[in-house]
Structure 1
Amino acid sequence: MALEHDIVLTEVQQRVSAAIAAGLADRLVTMGQTESGLFNYYARKLRHDALLSEYDLHVLRILRERVGEFRRVWEIGPGTGQLTAMLALDGHHVIAIDHDTRRYGAMMEMLGILERFDPAARARVSTRREAFPKTLGKSDNVGTDVVLALNCGFTAPESGYRAFEDALPRFGFGLIDFALLFTEAQSPEEWRQRARAFSERHGILASAVASYQISEVAKQGELFLCRRATPVPDGTN
């Protein structure tokens, strides 16, 4: 059974989510799909009243169950900031990373809406208009942080995919969507094999913790909780 918004979201989160959806709808009308940063993907989700995907709701639930186990949340490709705002309202400190100028602009405008509702929540969000993993410096201590890699599909040379993947195990743990990582997997067997291969290459424990469907864009998959087999001492990467 699909996870429902009103089960996961608090009343404040529901109000902020509705305000963000309205703000994006206005942006879409004013600027069009491309210049608004919504492109076809978010425009379609707005039409279906499904700005937050089922995997977003699972992420909120899973991280609430693990409060105290991590320091910050690194969100790779936050899109229009819809999950970013919900995470901040839950009290998490979020680093939202997006290299696309137009999408980044949409996110910043939506974080302005968050600030009107809860300035303290907005203050818990920092943003970087850069690509991952380029934005992740050697001095960034992320051994006690969580990374979110959700719907991270993109075209790159093999070296680009490898650099992205090799950066993920630096984090204390992560929630990774292997079905939509780099390219879309065509079957559960394929995305589970990706998770096994990642686990074997990096000495990571990877376990499926939730399944999801995105009916409005005909996608499905599973979220995998990934963590190091051996905990990293404080102060190291």
Structure 2
Amino acid sequence: MIANPVKTLIRNISLAKTEKDLRLVFMDGAGAIFHSHHWSISLRDGAGNLAQVDLKGLPDSFLDYYIQYGMEIDPLRAYVLAHHAPVHEQVLFTEARWKRSDLYLHGCGKQFDHEHAMTGAIVGSGQIIGLVNFARTRGTPAFDRQDLADLSAICAHLSVSLAMLRSQPKPFISDVFTKLTPREQQIAELVAQGLTNAEIGAQLWITQNTVKQSLKRIFCKLNVSARTELVAKLFR
């Protein structure tokens, strides 16, 4: 019997032990399910700040471009934020209107070859705590009702698994952690996960130089000179 890829992904999502595992499982399996050339997952922390972003098939420059030019004119994002339900462009537009939309012309469509787009929500406590995005390039069919049904199921399981992971007790964190700003705390936690400056920048949508300068301030506040000392001082 051939395995159902949607059920396989849902099962793997349910087995994830950490948020990082959850993101990796999604990124490894979701693209093929939806025959997408570009896809992503973004998660927000308890304070509503963007905490993690993973992308496939797109350059790092996409993040800055989308934030600057695409986010505020993205009707799919607006729909998902309003309705907490997945959507693709043909739910909102005729093909002709989509090709004339601001998102297609000036956001991501022409610039990054997003001929077709689909977005879904990860929810928690009645709020959007994450988004998943998919895009197909020119010469491919649009997303359809079955894609929306599959994405709805996947998003439901992502929401449940993320809620369970975030309800688990956290590793003991030293009192000196409170000396850091919320952004510095995010960076310190990613350092503890072994991420490089470039990877931290990509996760938090900030430049490598911003990460570097933030680490200098963290080292100064905590009187340490190396990442290993930082981790040892903050996390036990």
TM above 0.5, one fold? no
The structure that has the greater radius of gyration is 2
Structure (1 or 2) with the greater helix fraction: 2
TM range (shorter): under 0.3
TM-score between both structures, scaled by the size of structure 1: 0.27
